[in-house]
Amino acid sequence: MKTIVQEKIDQAIAILDELGIDLWLTFVRETPAGGDPILPLIYGHDLTWQTALIFTRTGESIAILGQLESETAHRSGAYQTIIPYDTDIRPTLLDTLNRLNPKEIALNYSQNDVHADGLTHGMYQILIKYFHDTPWKERIKPAEHIIGALRGRKTNQEIGRIKSAINTTEEIYQKTISHLQPGMTELEISDYMHDLVREFGVEVAWELNHCPTINAGPDSAIGHVGPTDQKIEKGHLLHFDFGVKQADYCSDIQRVVYFLAPGESTPPAEVKRAFDTVIHAIQAAVAHMKPGVTGVEIDRIAREIITSAGYPEYKYGTGHHLGRTVHDGAGLLGPLWEKYGNTPNIPLEAGNVFTVEPGVMLPDYGYIGIEEDVLIIQEGAEFLSTPQTEIITK
């Protein structure tokens, strides 16, 4: 079986040909200090000296890198041509570009996609200096469309790893929900889930101090925030946002539990209505997800279901790519707000994995946020997570 790096390099060359771009250049150095987000997909190791990773639409894969890292590049089996240097990358880089003579050079920077924006300003200045008195400076363009497609179009091996992370997450949720009791604090629940993460031999999908995010009742702060001493109370909702990282790939799932108040056998009608509205928004969004549809169209479907039911508009995008990171770059299921740039206009593609996560805040009960993980296929979309369609009660 090919490694994921080998798969993604083959995919990158095909994307270059599809987009009609002659050459993609990723220029990096000292990546342990802040590596390019695309590096794990096209190299798989850190790099020290100035390094140029080059792919062409004619099928060449070239690594120009420090002599001390050339053996690691050879062992990767991913690059056809490996050119080591000792003192100065410039002559070899320019000789290579002169031989290839690309009409366009896609560079690893972007105004829209953070995962395509790995070229630092300093490295850009160095490259422009190297390109003085050459035609290459005038042929530069951002590589965001290449990188977005490469990150977004998951291979079968990548999808398998995401599914494994989702399965583990659902097992942890099942154990945790069975363990819940009124009076437990958010911190106690978080500690219990962290113990399960260690027991399963995985990592949390984002920062440990707020993975999971847990919201007990209406007074708990919503967002990327850690758990507190807030206790579960009867008659309140308990909301989770949690995922794991397993074999380098992530899950991201939200769940809701309602704790019955004395005398209740089912949740109140107000809670049930809000929950059903969120589920309707998710199901309608997923039903319309297919290749070619834009993220803003999907966001509009979910958002209008929430607001048409009389609830406030949620102030975030309906969903995001999922992969090696929880927010995996490229397109977004979101509105055309300034902060999102052009990402909501990017069409969905087969192989994309998205979250879908509308929400409603009920002032007397707490937050209802459900999040599912969804795979785009040629025929539409399918759930990778097992959808929560009923309120879990305790």
Last residue of a domain, one of 93, 120, 152: 152
Strand-pair partners of 28: 51
| CA–CA separation, 237 and 376 (whole Å) | 31
Q: Alpha carbon of 3 to those of 75, 109, 333: distances in Å?
A: 12, 26, 30
pLDDT > 70: percent of the chain: 100
* Long-range contact set of residues 159-163: C-beta below 8 Å, sequence gap at least 24: 159/351, 159/353, 159/375, 159/384, 161/246, 161/247, 161/248, 161/249, 162/249, 162/250, 162/251, 162/322, 162/323, 162/353, 162/373, 162/384, 163/384
Reply yes or no on whether the pLDDT at 126 is more than 90. yes
CA atoms within 13 A on the CB side of 240: 27
Please state, in angstroms and rounded to a whole number, the distance separating the CA atoms of residues 127 and 110.
16
Distances (CA, A) of 250 to 16, 159, 327: 27, 10, 9
Query: Would you state the pLDDT for residue 137?
Result: 95
Tell me, yes or no, whether 117 and 208 share the same domain: no
CATH of the domain at 137: 3.40.350.10
Question: What are 83's two structure tokens?
Answer: 């050119």
* 104-124 pLDDT per residue, tens: 999 999 999 999 999 999 999
Q: Please tell me whether residues 200 and 275 are part of one structural domain.
A: yes
Over the Cα atoms of the chain, what is R_g?
23
Q: Give me the phi and psi of 27, to 5 degrees please.
A: -115, 120
Q: Would the pLDDT of 1 be above 80?
A: no
Residues whose CB falls within 8 Å of the CB of residue 120, separated by 6 or more in sequence, listed in order = 34
Same domain, 94 and 180: no
184 and 111 in a common domain: no
Could you tell me if 66 and 174 lie in one domain? no
Residues 114 and 248 in one domain: no
Helix, coil or strand: residue 217: coil
Query: Distance (Å, rounded) from C-alpha 247 to C-alpha 163?
Result: 11
Half-sphere CA count of 129, side-chain side, radius 13 A: 8
CA dihedral (71, 73, 79, 84) positive or negative:
negative
Query: Which among 136, 152, 168 is the end of a domain?
Result: 152
- Give the residue numbers spanning the domain of 278: 156-393
Q: Are residues 199 and 333 in the same domain?
A: yes
* CATH (domain of 163): 3.90.230.10
Is 335 in the same domain as 194?
A: yes
pLDDT band per the 50, 70, 90 thresholds, residue 69: very high
> What integer is the mean pLDDT of 60-84?
97
Tell me: do 206 and 350 sit in the same domain.
yes
Could you tell me the pTM of the whole model?
Answer: 0.96
Of 152, 170, 201, the domain-final residue: 152
Mean pLDDT of 9-32: 97
Q: Say if residue 97 is in the same domain as residue 76.
A: yes
Q: Concatenate the DSSP letters of all residues of 338-381 into one string.
A: GGGTTGGGSBP-TT-EEEE--EEEETTTEEEE-BEEEEEETTEE
Per-residue confidence at 269, pLDDT binned at 50, 70, 90? very high
Number of domains in the chain: 2
The mean of the pLDDT values for the chain is 97
Rounded CA separation 124/113 (Å): 17
- Assess whether 246 and 389 both reside in one domain: yes
**How many C-beta atoms surround the C-beta of residue 114 within 10 A?**
14
The mean pLDDT of 219-223, rounded to a whole number, is: 93
Domain co-membership, 170 together with 314: yes
